[in-house]
Amino acid sequence: MRRRLLPLLIYGLLAVFATLTLTPFAFLVASTVKTKADFVSTLFLPAGDGLFGVGWDRLTGENYRRIFGELHVPRALLNSCFLASVGSLLATLFSAMGGYALAKFRFPGREGIIRLVLAALIIPGPLLIAPGFQNLWRLGLLDTYAGLMLPGLAPAFGVFLFRQTMLNAVPSELIEAARIDGAGEFRIFFTLVFPLVRPMFGAFLMIMFLGIWNDYLGPQIVLQSPELYPLSTTVAMLKNLHWNDYGLVMAGTLVAIAPVMCLFLLLQREFIAGLTSGAVKG
Amino acid sequence: MKPYRPHPRGTPWVFLAPFLLLFGVFTAWPLLRSLQLAFEQTSGPQTTVFVGLKNFRYLATDPLFWQAMENTVTFTLGTVCVQVPVALGLALLLNRPDLRGRALFRLIFFAPSLIGMVFVALLFLPMLEKRTGLVNIWLHAVYPPWNLEFAWLENYAMTALILATVWVGAGFMMVFFLAALQHVPAELLEAAHIDGAGARQRFWHIVLPELRPVLGLMTLLAIVGSMQLFELSYLLLGDTGGVSNRGLSLVMYLYQTGFTTGDLGYASAIGWVLALLLMGVAMLQRHLARRAQED
């Protein structure tokens, strides 16, 4: 008896939690295609006599038309794509390069830099808000993409992770052999070292991409011109300007999260494996 | 045999150059500056006056700062106490060897953690509304005495913030617990089973000790993340944290003093208090982890 009930209980619990997790997504998608009147009167899709008892004819594309037509959203989508892809690629590359130097080279000053990286791991982001702003103002980088991106391109966390990974994953004999064969240092890095840490590279790239895509505070502090805004600040602004038009805000929100969801669905297995490989070791 | 060819002496520095340059200009230098900034009063970035310890003295008696501190600590404790057990519970449910659809469930639970806090706030805003909000309507449906006028955003702001945070973060944490659970030696569990240990005993004496490092790390990450609460509260409750500043967090107060009031010096002082607090938590965790390892 107990043997039959237990799986039932487990699947039941999982189903309840899965429903709770998915409900906000369903709500979000449904909200974007409803009129203002239907938004307040129905939770998901409005009832009607169409297929599955849904009033399909009452749905509207108006929110999307306005999002892509009148408001700054298409421009912001491009901005976010640019910032997140270029930013994450450079941050990952610089981290991998730094980690490689600290893992596979012996040179005076190495211990000092390793200690610096370890110390930098515990610097919390908010500590840098005020002095960082002042610094960007001094350098004349406020309201520019340089000011928004450059501070994020040197993550100590990334250098640390790549160093840890490369200590074991990249055999020094292989590098020596390539050197004896006359390969240049950059060629060694890109054709020999890089393929060995590719899973790590992919996972870190994705973390950085998500971090930049979802960053709100950075653009809020650094940028002033609305045409430079990424999706985070643009969609939050939609809420302030059209606070009584939830359908519109929900459409903006969906446009902002759909790209990262699709990207993740494509890469999820590698991403989760890469993510947990460092944290969970025997 | 070919002669040994060492790398040019500058090579490691070339590889380190982008990191060192950017880190120096945009992290190390402002960090040093902030040591000075915390003892200054500013009006925007240009005018600064040295005020000595005044910022910290004012901080000690600033009611808004202490309210922000209390809110932040409450939020952190609440989040950790709900999120860690939920994540561990989900991981244990998914860890059963004969479970079907594990990959699908894992995907579903993990999905919210991809969404930025800004977008989570915007999404939860209509769901937490009084009469029309999904949360109240569902609670009313499950439990009819539930009042549809329940004011999540006005009177129960902290609960709402914790709820949204757990929705986002539980799946992320679960993935790490699940990975750690799959490293628990099966022979050990089997041996205990044969020796007559029940499911509860096996959990407390074998599984939990194996999970301890990951559990410690995840708790630390949750504390550090929650102490930096900003976007969720800022967008869900407004820039001063809603009704009687119930949702005002330390980072929100830092942002407010730095950019609404324009006093970057006072903001830096708040930043240092937060930083020291977080460093204290991190050191405590390291100490506990080390002691656990020695046992």
- DSSP string over A251-263: HHHHHHHHHHHHH
- CA separation for the pair B100, B97 (Å, rounded): 9
Look at residue B196 and tell me whether its pLDDT is greater than 80.
yes
Do the Cβ atoms of B37 and A215 come within 8 Å? no
Look at residue B253 and tell me whether its pLDDT is greater than 80.
yes
Please indicate, yes or no, if residue B168 is contained in any of the structural domains: yes
Look at residue B93 and tell me whether its pLDDT is greater than 80.
yes
Do the Cβ atoms of B179 and A154 come within 8 Å? no
Is the separation of the CB atoms in A224 and A143 below 8 Å? yes
Other CB atoms within 10 A of residue A229 CB: 22
Mean pLDDT lowest for which of A224-233, B21-30, B108-117, B178-187?
Answer: B178-187
Please indicate, yes or no, if residue B282 is contained in any of the structural domains: yes
pLDDT mean over A89-115? 95
Give me the residue label for tokens 């043997």: A3
- Which pLDDT score is estimated for A278? 62
Q: Which of B244, B225, B77 is nearest to B157 (CA)?
A: B244
- Which pLDDT score is estimated for B4? 58
Flag whether residue A218 sits within 8 Å of chain B, measured between CB atoms.
Answer: no
Query: B70-83 in b/e burial notation, b at 16+ Cβ within 10 A?
Result: ebbbebbebbbebb
CATH code for the structural domain at A74-279 = 1.10.3720.10
Please indicate, yes or no, if residue B3 is contained in any of the structural domains: no
**Residues 184 through 223 of chain B touching chain A, CB cutoff 8 Å:** 214, 217
Mean pLDDT lowest for which of A127-136, A268-277, B137-146?
Answer: A268-277
- CA separation for the pair A229, A231 (Å, rounded): 7
Is the separation of the CB atoms in B84 and B222 below 8 Å? yes
- Which pLDDT score is estimated for A4? 75
The total number of structural domains in chain B stands at 1
- Half-sphere exposure at residue B209, Cβ-oriented, CA atoms within 13 angstroms: 11
Grouping H, G, I as helix, E, B as strand and the rest as coil, residue B143 is coil
Q: Which two tokens stand for residue A53?
A: 């008892």
Confidence of residue B197 (pLDDT cuts 50, 70, 90): confident
Q: Which two tokens stand for residue A11?
A: 């699947």
In chain A, where are the structural domains located?
Answer: 2-60, 74-279
**Residues 5 through 34 of chain A touching chain B, CB cutoff 8 Å:** 7, 10, 13-14, 17-18, 20-25, 27-28, 31
The fraction of chain A above a pLDDT of 90, given in percent, is 60
Confidence of residue A47 (pLDDT cuts 50, 70, 90): confident
- CA separation for the pair B85, B83 (Å, rounded): 6
| B-chain residue closest to A142, CA distance | B45
Mean pLDDT lowest for which of A233-247, A265-279, B183-197, B207-221?
Answer: A265-279
- CA separation for the pair B234, B228 (Å, rounded): 12
3-state helix, strand, coil split of chain B in percent (to 5) is 75, 5, 25
Rounded to the nearest 10 degrees, the angle between the axes of helix A73-104 and helix A198-213 is 140
- CA separation for the pair B12, A104 (Å, rounded): 9
Please indicate, yes or no, if residue B22 is contained in any of the structural domains: no
The fraction of chain B above a pLDDT of 70, given in percent, is 98
pLDDT mean over A176-205? 90
Which residues of chain A neighbour B176 with C-beta distances below 8 Å?
Answer: 275-276, 279-280
Domain boundaries, position B124: 54-181+208-294
Mean pLDDT lowest for which of A92-96, A267-271, B104-108?
Answer: A267-271
Mean pLDDT lowest for which of A203-207, A270-274, B129-133?
Answer: A270-274
A–B CB contacts, 8 A cutoff, strictly below? 257
Which residues of chain B neighbour A134 with C-beta distances below 8 Å?
Answer: 30, 33, 37, 42, 45, 264
- CA separation for the pair B179, A277 (Å, rounded): 8
Do the Cβ atoms of A123 and B31 come within 8 Å? yes
Look at residue B74 and tell me whether its pLDDT is greater than 50.
yes
- Which pLDDT score is estimated for B199? 82
Closest approach of B73 to chain A, Cα-based (Å): 16
Q: What is each CA distance from A246 to A135, B5, B151, in whole angstroms?
A: 38, 66, 18
- CA separation for the pair B199, B207 (Å, rounded): 10
Closest approach of A276 to chain B, Cα-based (Å): 6
Look at residue A282 and tell me whether its pLDDT is greater than 50.
no
Domain CATH number, residue B281: 1.10.3720.10
Question: pLDDT higher for B47 or A258?
Answer: A258
- Which pLDDT score is estimated for B69? 96
| B-chain residue closest to A212, CA distance | B116
- Which pLDDT score is estimated for B1? 46
pLDDT mean over B244-256? 93
**Residues 42 through 71 of chain B touching chain A, CB cutoff 8 Å:** 42, 45-46
The model's pTM = 0.91
Q: Write down the mean pLDDT value for chain B.
A: 90
